[in-house]
Chain A
Amino acid sequence: MYTYDAFDQRMVEERAAQFRAQVVRRLDGRLTEDAFKPLRLQNGLYMQLHAYMMRVAIPYGLLSSDQVRRLARIARDYDRGYVHFTTRQNVQLNWPRLEDVPAILDELAEVQMHAIQTSGNCIRNITSDPFAGAAADEIADPRPYAEILRQWSTFHPEFAFLPRKFKFAVTGAREDRAAIAVHDVGIRVVEGEGGAIGFAFYVGGGQGRTPILAPCIRPFVPERDLVSYAEAVLRTYNRLGRRDNKYKARIKILVKQTGAEAFARLVEEEHARIKDGPLALTDEDLEPFKRAFRPPPHAVMPAEDPPELVAARLAKDRAFAHWERHNVSPHRVPGYANVSLSLKSRDLPPGDVTSEQLDAVAELADRYAFGRVVVTHRQNLVLTDVARRDLPALHGALAKLGVATPNVGKLTDVVCCPGLDYCNLANARSINVAQDLLARFEDLSALHDLGDMHLNISGCINACGHHHVGHVGILGIDKQGTEHYQLMLGGSSGDEASLGRILGRALTGDEIGGAVERVVVAYLQLRESPQEPFLATYRRLGPAPFKEAVYDAVGA
């Protein structure tokens, strides 16, 4: 993985010192809360319902085991012994004291981490495919490109006060696991003529109150132009993006109102001016970034399944069988696998992990996965590069930790924002709905093998739980002072991305769990075969039979 050199290290240390001084000025009154707000926001510090919340950046979701251990220590020493992984592959501390934040930044800087630009109207943490570098379907590892974009965007002097926040996602695989269609800029690595690497740029997607799928504004940007093209997009947005209404300030509105083609022309005009300037990348520029993400030293393994794995299967260990089927994904190197750790159990809110669990995961990463842990945008963790012969032992250890629920990508792998329990924007609680569904479907999903079925819950229209792209989406709303939930179906952030459609009237907290259950039962009756996933059934039949199933029971 990319490790800091003296330059990077100095950057985060100077940042920590800078923020320490800003906190001093805030505490002695030289900075008003109004003047302090944009400064703390550029450093990931939000004022939440009960306390400050601090968001720490995890570039493209990749952590070393030492970084995981440090997060565990920070959560223990400065917080309440747990952290929350987010849908943008970041990590949040829910209860830090303002006075402690400078010390936390020092602790982070010691392990090459920071909170730079994790909030505010600037370029945020750059996300990617959780299986990057290890996926079987990869054209090129996206992380060297994500890292160079991270450096370009860090403390970019021109883009610190954009009309609104700005999110990049980069994928190098054929299957999109980075949700690039719902980002401000989604970048897909593509192969051009003669195998040359380039990038398709999707610009102006997003969720929130106006969900839009990003149009492709240029199908092939040469590798050398990656940064200059990104800069041309940002400059065009900073000049022309709306600032009169924060709900119309994201780039998706600008692209939509300008028209994708006209917007692309504006970008091209600016790009033509700057593409041969200092941002043009040379092979020498790119080489160290590519070298940093070389694969770990895999052993040469036979293509057939190792005896340990065969033995575990023969033992008819149902728990192992379910886990292997749902939580283990193919790796591009024979004899290796990618293992997902489910952070969706009935013990903790979705995405939450205790310090003890983090320490244990770090140990397992060292023993089985070359010391690397990846955070996914579905709020789980992944150990890439696990030898298949180690799967039975790893499963045993993960089960003990409570992170082996065999539900990754399934209905109970609920993506969920913190909701009204923590967030001052929320209209409704989301964690309790997630827990209700986890309890309700614990047996059903094993019983019927529902297949891939993504459930996303947001506590308000800002859509942090990405409800628009859940196969089943739930949105918390406030209706005459009580919590209600809109149910929507048919969303997807994958290759054929689509936005979910509202099924009918909003449901109460008492109704929503049963309604999802009736959708599932209807799906089981309607699917053509067990191989037809929910999304395919929904796309084939449309909302009518599901609407009937839900509202005949509770009234329209």
Chain B
Amino acid sequence: MTLLAHEAGVARVIADDPWITLGPDETLDETLDEASDVIVPLEGLDRVRPVARGRVGLRVPGDADADAVAARLGGVDLVQIELPRFTDGRAYTLARLLREKHGFRGELRASGAVLPDQLHYLARCGFDSFELADGGSVEDALAVFSDLSQSYQPAADGARPAWRRRRPVS
């Protein structure tokens, strides 16, 4: 698994990801530094958040309801959205709603069925980082991220609609 992020329209590899992922039944114990940044599933959130001294991230499935997720975002610095299949587009809407309806400003991370050719759309919907699925080529992902240099419609990236941006300033 390789972690990528993007900035100013360019994708890059993140070599030193500070986040540690906990399973549904795992708790912070002495083997883990309580100051670590941990990503926990929804059912582990109440158990971990009170004792964690580092940052807390929340992992939700791509079909989660945005309003329900938003209700749990107090003190959460990262939301990891897991795509069950790359053909399941609900994660894109979920990300936009978290950003634009609920004002989530922390990191949005895509994981699961994340393929190189999807990163551009995911980024436009508000994702900051991507765990590339096994088998996906990192080189391809970096290369194709910038295939399209412009867009017609606004999304979570704050792009202006093309029909307004193109109009000559009078």
Query: Which residues on A are within 8 Å of B, measured CB to CB?
Result: 5, 7, 10-11, 14-15, 17-18, 21-22, 25, 30, 35, 38-39, 121, 148, 151-163, 227, 235, 238-239, 243, 273-274, 277-279, 284-285, 288-289
Contacts and interface: CB of A to CB of B under 8 A. Distances in A.
Given A35-B115, A161-B86, A156 B153 contact: yes
B166 A7 contact: yes
Interface stretch (B4-12, B51-59, B156-164): B156-164
25 contacts: A7-B150, A7-B162, A10-B150, A11-B152, A14-B150, A18-B144, A22-B117, A148-B163, A151-B152, A152-B153, A154-B152, A157-B120, A157-B122, A157-B151, A158-B89, A158-B92, A161-B88, A161-B92, A227-B161, A238-B93, A239-B90, A273-B101, A278-B154, A279-B161, A288-B167
A274 B96 CA distance: 12
Contacts of B31: none
B137 A30 contact: yes
Given A15-B148, A30-B137, A35-B115, A239 B163 contact: no
Contacts of B101: 273
Given A157-B92, A157-B124, A160-B89, 6 more contacts: A11-B150, A14-B150, A38-B86, A161-B86, A239-B90, A278-B160
Interface size bracket, B side: 35 or more
Interface in B101-127: 101, 115, 117, 120-122, 124-125
Contacts of A30: 137, 140
Given A18-B144, A158-B125, A151 B162 contact: yes
A151 B148 contact: no
Nearest to A281: B163
Nearest 6 A/B pairs, CB to CB: A161-B89, A157-B124, A157-B121, A18-B147, A278-B154, A151-B152
Contacts of B152: 11, 151-152, 154-156
Dominant secondary structure of chain A at its interface with chain B = helix
A7 B124 CA distance: 19
B42 interface: no
Interface in B133-153: 137, 140, 143-144, 147-153
Given A7-B166, A30-B140, A288-B167, A159 B89 contact: yes
